[in-house]
């Protein structure tokens, strides 16, 4: 697990939650006709019609943009072993 920053270039805010910070429970990023629900591939740098939606108990944040870029920050944290 690792923290990341999602940069939206040319963004317009569509909706904001009632309060901040927003504890994200669900979300998606759409670029063109491709949807990324709850996860983004690394690296992530896409241009086109971008729609971002993040929902939580406090409400929903939504924005449109022309580019979305994810930058990882800070250390990676081990979560658990996976044994299929």
Reported in sequence order, the residue ranges of 1-84 that DSSP labels E, i.e. its strands, are 3-9, 12-15, 24-31, 34-37, 44-56, 59-73
Q: What is the DSSP letter of 82?
A: -
> pLDDT category, 82, cuts 50, 70, 90?
confident
Other beta carbons within 10 Å of 46: 18
The per-residue pLDDT for 7 is 96
* Residue 9 scores a pLDDT above 90: yes
- Single pTM value for the model: 0.84
In angstroms, the CA 67 to CA 81 distance is 34
The per-residue pLDDT for 83 is 84
**Which tens digits make up the pLDDT trace of 23-78?**
999 999 999 989 999 999 999 999 999 999 999 999 999 999 999 999 999 999 99
């Amino acid at each position: 697990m690792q923290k990341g920053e999602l940069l939206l270039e040319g963004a317009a805010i569509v909706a904001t939650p009632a309060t901040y910070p927003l504890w994200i429970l669900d979300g998606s990023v759409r670029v063109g006709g491709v949807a990324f629900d709850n996860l983004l591939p690394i690296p992530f740098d896409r241009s086109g019609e971008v729609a971002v939606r993040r929902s939580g108990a406090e409400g929903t944040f939504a924005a449109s943009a022309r580019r979305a870029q994810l930058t990882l920050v800070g250390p990676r944290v081990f979560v658990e072993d996976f044994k299929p």
